[in-house]
Chain A
Amino acid sequence: MKYSIKRILQLIPILIAITFLSFAMMRLAGSDVVEQKMLNTGQVVSEAQLQAAKAELGLDKPFLVQYFVWFGKLLHGDMGVSYVSGKDVFETFISKLPATLFLTVTSILLTIVISIPLGIISAVYKNKFWDYLIRFISFIGNSMPNFFVSLVLMYFLGIRLGWFPIISKDMSLSAVAMPTFTLAIAMSAKYLRQVRATVLDELSKDYILGAKSRGVKFSVILWKSVMRECLVTIITLLALSIGSLLGGTAIVESIFMWDGVGKMAVDAINMRDYPIIQAYVMWMAIIYVTVNLITDLSYRLLDPRIRLEDTSNE
């Protein structure tokens, strides 16, 4: 308990730093936004008008004051409006989030379905044909950037074979298939190696030999003992994939026109829509940090040894 509270308290300075950084970034980039906006109207703008407009937005105040005003609004879910659409940034972000979460969940599920069985097969048939084949495929998968995978899948499965729609119009299973494949291929390639290593490590332990000599079936050992030990690895993998997924979805979403936060961010970057970019960076960082915390805490539930180590250190 003590550890959990300590961990949560540690999170606060990181979260504050994240908000500060994204605010500072926005100010660095968007300082001439007012001028830009007024010049776009096509009228002659006097210096006085410019100052008045800046004062109206609070841009004439010192940097830190601006930050605290902004932070106060942030706590109420007010992140300003998009420069392009004029809509509320927070609402836009929330409306795009379900699509990204849906894609994330399907990709993680597919990754688990691919990487755990293949990792186990690879470990059980160590240095035999299946192991080499699986490792070869994993190596190939690891060496392809996700936009290349997307376009290859799009070309063969979408255009040549016509199995899946090329552009996703809705959040159906057939529409999510190709973006999911793309993300799952890259992740599985990475994680089946780790599953393999974990299983190999586990299989070399004495209790496995003991179980074998007692006549316990190998499949039972695999499913009952080895699988359970894989749990911690799998949870680590899930936490790790959240980070790469959050970044990776940006490219994949914009290729497949999947209407999630990743595509929103890429569009915003192309149009220099800074409030949206700011919201994206900040929320992604917050989600990432939070997921890491949950992972850390869940280890302690799963593996009592980690709990013991902490108490002996204190």
Chain B
Amino acid sequence: MNKKPSKKLIVFTIMAAALILVSIFADRLCPYDPYAQDLSLSYNAPSAEHLMGTDTYGRDMFSRVIIGARASILSTLALVAIITIFGTAVGVICGYCGGKVDSVVMRISDFFLAFPGLVFALAVAALLGGGIINAVFALAVISWPKYSRVARSQTLSVKSLSFIQAARLAGDSPVQIIVRHILPNILGPILVTSMLDIGTMMMELAGLSFLGLGAQPPIAEWGSMMSNGRSMLQTYPWVVLSPGFAIFVSVVIFNLLGDTVRDYLDPK
């Protein structure tokens, strides 16, 4: 793994980092207050003053798209982090301990994998009601098994290697073995899985918001902004298409980064 990172990897990492920084410092980057309503400005077409035009309430779309990055990108990253950590923990424990725990937990994950993902997420979100945290939870519930599968199979293949036995003979506790010896050796494939997942998760989260099951207005979030603007598609398309374009660009960047990370860690 001491390979020199490719130029592509550096460029895409910087782009992704820029996106994340924008979403963290969103409130300082907005040219206008994204929540300030001024009806005299409603439905202005994109211009030098308002790069993406204004919406029904005269709110600057460009500022809303920037502030929307916070709900869209940061919650996606939180979601991916949650399922990566939880799924990996479950997978490693199952793979290391084996036995009954393993077979019971793996049947449970089979069951989740047997469900059509978005249908189940819809049901969970409908049950919990709207809200971005509930949407993240709904997607987390259905997405962790993938990670526990990867972590489990990797753990099984590392577990049988002689250095693990050596560690066991040296008197390391199972926790020490898992943390010090197994985890560092299985991180690659898990990292690749989660990097490739960011784009998909972002689209699914925005999809739930689009259906009214994620972020609630007035909070600016790309999916719900598009949904609220739907009826204006014919007359004021920028209200609908600019948040969509923001989702598209972010997903492209994270997908490019994911592909490059995969090529870097797991060249075929």
Contact = CB atoms under 8 A, between A and B. Distances in A.
Interface of A: 14, 17-18, 22, 25, 28-29, 139-140, 142-148, 151-152, 154-155, 159, 242-244, 246-248, 250-251, 254-255, 265-266, 269-270, 272, 277, 280-281, 284-285, 288-289, 292
Nearest to A186: B203
27 contacts: A18-B115, A22-B123, A29-B127, A142-B255, A143-B252, A145-B210, A145-B248, A147-B207, A151-B226, A151-B230, A155-B241, A244-B116, A246-B118, A246-B119, A247-B117, A250-B211, A255-B230, A266-B122, A269-B126, A269-B212, A277-B123, A284-B116, A284-B119, A285-B114, A285-B120, A288-B115, A289-B114
B212 to A, nearest CB: 6
Contacts of B123: 22, 25, 277, 280-281
A269 B120 CA distance: 13
Given A144-B248, A145-B203, A250 B122 contact: yes
A147 to B, nearest CB: 5
Contact of B114 (A142, A144, A152, A292): A292
The binding surface of chain A is classed by DSSP as helix
Contacts of B255: 139, 142-143
Given A254-B211, A284-B116, A144 B251 contact: yes
A17 B247 CA distance: 36
A248 B207 CA distance: 9
A150 to B, nearest CB: 10
Interface string B221-256: 001001100100110010011001001100110010
Contact of B119 (A25, A144, A250, A292): A250
A285 B122 CA distance: 12
B43 to A, nearest CB: 16
Contacts of A142: 199, 255
A311 B118 CA distance: 36
Contacts of B213: 269
B252 A243 contact: no
A148 B247 contact: yes
A186 B148 CA distance: 27
A14 B111 contact: yes
Nearest to A270: B212
Of A18, A148, A242, A244, the most chain B CB neighbours within 10 A belong to A148
A243 B251 contact: no
B116 A246 contact: yes
A96 B212 CA distance: 22
A146 B210 CA distance: 11
A267 to B, nearest CB: 10
A243 B211 contact: no
A127 B111 CA distance: 40
A191 B111 CA distance: 25
